[in-house]
Structure 1
Amino acid sequence: MNASKVYKRSIIDLFRLGSCVLCRHSASVQSGLCHSCRATLLPAPAPACRCGLPCPSAAPGGETAQAAPLCGNCLARPPAFSRICCAHSYAFPLDQLFNRYKHRRQLSAERALEQLWQAALPFPGPLPDALVPMPSHWRRRWWRGFDPAARLAQQAGEQLALPVLDALRRTRATPRQQGLTAARRARNLRGALVACQPVAGLSLALVDDVVTTGSSAREASALLLASGATDVQVWALARTLPGRNW
């Protein structure tokens, strides 16, 4: 069965049953999640460093990169991107929802993620000129039957009336990053991305589903800036926090 048929069947099954995609409770379901499960979602840390991790010295509500001081790691290695904007912390039960969606291809979870993403937009601060999805290798897209980052970018583009540029391409498959250290992730990514569309003079938002160590965001933003972009933000639905099992 192809991905489009799986998607249609899973969405039909979800709303026919009127059940929560996480606990399968049948009562009071809103956008795929019941009120109880929705209430357990952890927001993104605030205040936060430019990298999106907790930073107690940052000014709460800061809307610009200048308002967010750098943490120790970012002082040692300043990121190319100006800031990471995310809606939620990558923790239970959101991690379970992502796992079902991305790794088990249970596309009935997509509707719930889309609604969470829609509610998060627009992020505080100036809007970019265009959105750039974090690219996946074609083999991973083929295996899944869909590209999570591309879907989020397309939805954000439609909601905010912004163009979506496929300005980056992944030239080689990299091992699954989950469970790897930040240093190993960075080594895996070297040379794996190339610029394939002009972005000179544009401010951009790099769209991804989950930011884990930030290695992919660092590599991709540096490449976009080297291609002439004036600024790169990172937009994501969730951010992994220290102490999580990457």
Structure 2
Amino acid sequence: MGDTTPAAPAGVLTQLLPGGGSVTYFEAENSRDVQHAQFAWLRQTFEGMLPTAVLFEGVDCGTGATEAATIAGLGAAGYARFLARQYDVPATSLDNEPATYEHLRATTDPEQLKLYYLLHAVQRFQHRPDASKALSTKAMRQIMANGHAYLPGTGHVVRNLTALRAAYRRHCPAGGKWWHTPAAYFAEGASVASAPYPLFRTITSTRAAFRRQYRASQLAAYDQAGQRVLVVVVPGHGPGRALASGR
């Protein structure tokens, strides 16, 4: 999709697009250490290209009150939004989670769909320093209490922790404990080796395909307008994964 020219540091790649625009991918590690060098590189990349639009993965959780608070609380995606706000540049999610969910809902069994989303939502608590069964259980109760708001159409299934444990045993009969669900189960391109249960492989692959298509359409629109776009993604979600082309 146009000429590809590597730039420093590793993990930053700029593509010149056919319509006259450009897109610079910044692959950011999952770090919230204010001293991590990637945040200085992100600012340098931003100020060097002066993007006209910023795209980031995931939902828009805003910014912190300060630069340090933003990094510590929201990582690279939050810091990209912080820089965009400083320079009065629009910042938008690469993804449309409501549309992705509705796409999955049309073809997925409600119990499997809800189980997948609940486990994915609580999985992030495994990375906290105080990670424990108690923390995950508390978080899951809170997530389930609000499930009707972001998981419409599944209110009749997996309504409590007892039902969650039963559904997990049905779909992951040898999967260990639900609060230790491996992150690899939710990774794009999950294989039988990384996600041995069809529940995860099927939903993850369908979700990834929809996201690629949606992202490609977004970038095409920016290209037509001749914009300079900064895209902040996790490692492996840059052009090497055909993010821009949708292939």
**TM-score, length basis structure 1:** 0.32
Q: Greater RCO between the two (CA within 8 Å, min separation 6)?
A: 2
State the structure with more CA Rg.
2
- Compare the two structures and name the one with the higher helix fraction: 2
- Name whichever structure is richer in strand by fraction: 1
